[in-house]
Structure 1
Amino acid sequence: MVNLLDPSNVITRMFNAGKYEEMYQYCLKMIEKIPNDMVALQNISLSLIYLKKYQEAITYCDKVLEIKKSDTFALKNKIYSLENLKQYEKVIELCQEILSFNPNDVWALNSMGLSLNELDRHEEALACYEKSLKIDPNDVTALMNKAISLSHLKNYEESIKYYDRAQHVDPSIKEIPIAKSRLFEKLKMPDEAFLAAQGVLNKDMEKIITSAKENKCTVFHQFCQNEFEEYDSK
């Protein structure tokens, strides 16, 4: 039977209800009784993050890290706070710390890459995303941010490929069709730019373009015809 009065359960209910101020006050009372209560300290930092009090959150993350230097939860909360404070060099240091005891932490690799991007160190950021993708080839965060890094480096063709891979994994990401379309425009490929904007995957573009040539019509007309036929078949 679940103990509803157990502090962890009380905190979870407050968090799920979005009652971050109440959660913060509840945890403060816990550390009045036991100053080194890890559950309370961790959740004070978490509540402060949701209250957008990032500098205060870091203070409590540091209290946890004084007790347990390698506490991943505290390190990640501190990284998130530092990102919001735009202290990217410090983020990189902490990500390296996590990776020193867990080289396969994809979250740390991606966070490090994002901070390197913010510092215009896009080549170094690419290396982080490449490591992430070796661990998980379908990691959408790494795929998206590798595409962004490649775009910054003006490697538009490769950037499109990684946007397309991300779109294949998660077609619901609305930013991808627009980003792909703009890159095709930079490459002076208007037909592909149009199709990308409609959410067409790269592998399907050539079929539509070829059909348009065979039918002696525009790509726009062919796309509309295909859409009509698909709708009519349902």
Structure 2
Amino acid sequence: MIDLLDPSNVITRMFNAEKYDEMYQYCKNILENEPNNMLALQNISLSLIYLKKYDDAIDYCNQVLEIKNFDTYALKNKIFALENLKQYKQVLELSEQLVSANPKDIWALNSMGLALNELDNHKEALKCYDTSLLIDPDDVTALMNKAISLSHLGNYQEAIEYYDKAQTIDPNLRELPLAKSRLYEKLGMTDDAFLAAQGILNKDMEKIKKDAIENKCSVFHQFCDNEFKEFNK
């Protein structure tokens, strides 16, 4: 039977209900009686992150790390807060610590890559994403971030392929069609840019373009005709 009054259960309920102010106060009350309570210290920092009080969140993360110098939960909370403060050199240092302890930590590898991107070191960032994708080829975050790195390096066609794979895995990510479309525009491929913006996957573009040629119409008109026929079904 679940103990509803157990602090971890109370905190979980507050977090799931997005009651971050209440979560913060609940943890603070625990810390008044038990200043070194790890559950409260870890979760008060989490509540502060969601309340966008990043400096305060880091202070509590540091308290956890004083008690336990390598606490994964506190390190990840601190990284998240530092990312929001745009302190990317510190993000890189802490991410490297996590990766040293666990080379298969995809979250840390992606955070490390993101920091390198922000520090304008896209070639090194690619290595992080490649490592993530060796562990999990379908990791959408790594796929998207690798596409961003490749586009910064001018490798637009390859970047499009990674955006497309990410879109195949998670078609609900709204930013992917526009990101692909912009890169097609940079390549001067206006028809592909239009189709990408409509959410069409690369594998489906060629048929639409081929049908447009056969029907002697523009890709735009072919797409609209396809949509009309699909609607009528």
Name the TM tier (shorter chain). Answer: over 0.9
- Kindly indicate whether residue 144 of structure 2 is the aligned counterpart of residue 141 of structure 1: no
Aligned to 2:222: 222
Aligned to 2:159: 159
- Kindly indicate whether residue 158 of structure 2 is the aligned counterpart of residue 124 of structure 1: no
Query: Alpha-carbon deviations, 1:100-124, whole Å to 9, x = none?
Result: 1110111111111111111111111
Aligned to 1:4: 4
Question: Mind listing any 5+ residue stretches in structure 2 that lack a counterpart?
Answer: none
Aligned to 2:64: 64
The amino acid of 2:78's aligned partner reads K
- Kindly indicate whether residue 111 of structure 2 is the aligned counterpart of residue 106 of structure 1: no
The amino acid of 1:83's aligned partner reads E
Normalised TM-score (structure 2): 0.95
Aligned to 2:48: 48
Distance 1:50 1:121 in 2: 29
Distance 2:161 2:30 in 1: 51
Normalised TM-score (structure 1): 0.95
The amino acid of 1:147's aligned partner reads A
Distance 1:226 1:22 in 2: 52
Q: What is the Cα deviation at residue 217 of structure 1?
A: 1.8
Bigger mean CA offset, 220-229 vs 143-152: 220-229
Distance 1:21 1:175 in 2: 31
Q: What is the Cα deviation at residue 191 of structure 1?
A: 1.3
The amino acid of 1:7's aligned partner reads P
Aligned to 1:36: 36
Question: Mind listing any 5+ residue stretches in structure 1 that lack a counterpart?
Answer: none
Aligned to 2:73: 73
Q: What is the Cα deviation at residue 153 of structure 1?
A: 0.9
Structure 1 residues 166-181: aligned runs within 5 Å:
166-181=166-181
Distance 1:123 1:205 in 2: 30
The amino acid of 2:34's aligned partner reads I
Distance 2:11 2:217 in 1: 62
Distance 1:182 1:6 in 2: 51
Moved >6 Å (runs of 4+)? none
- Kindly indicate whether residue 186 of structure 2 is the aligned counterpart of residue 192 of structure 1: no
Query: Alpha-carbon deviations, 1:16-54, whole Å to 9, x = none?
Result: 232222222222221222222111111111111122111
